[in-house]
Amino acid sequence: MSGYAANPAGASDNAEVRSRRRAYRARWSPEDDEYVGLCAEFPSLSWLAETAHEAVAGIEQVVDEVVADMHANGEAAPQALTERTYSGKFGVRTFPELHESLSIEAAEQGVSLNQLVNLKLSRSA
């Protein structure tokens, strides 16, 4: 079932523009027989609609309202994932057997373990 969320009174255009920079996506929900709009920075929020475009537009509106409400109450909204600075480094813990297998594969291909893992991650992203 589709829903509608009204514009909050006094919501600033600037806050709405910032909300649009968040990590939005739509996916098909077989259970609901509609698209669900999601925002990574607000995982508890969602919006159902007949099209992916409407689902994203709906979740953007909901996030705008939530951010405006948070600001009105003196709360800080989560920083947009798209505006964060990323170092390009993160640690991964895995099973010793997988570590060994990847190390052998990297050696056989003549590349570093880091290069091999980067290649595998980029193919699946």
pLDDT higher than 50, residue 86: yes
Say if residue 111's pLDDT is above 70.
yes
pLDDT surpassing 80 at residue 110: yes
Q: What angle do CA 50, 53, 59 make, to 5 degrees?
A: 90
Given a cut of 60, is residue 50 above it in pLDDT? yes
- What value does the mean pLDDT take over residues 57-83? 95
**Alpha carbon of 6 to those of 59, 119, 123: distances in Å?**
12, 45, 41
Is residue 89 predicted with pLDDT exceeding 50?
A: yes
Model confidence, pTM: 0.67
Q: What is the mean pLDDT of the chain?
A: 88
Mean pLDDT of 69-86: 94
For residue 88, pLDDT over 70 is answered with yes
pLDDT digits (tens, 9 = 90+) for 3-14: 433 333 444 445
> 3-class DSSP state for residue 52?
helix
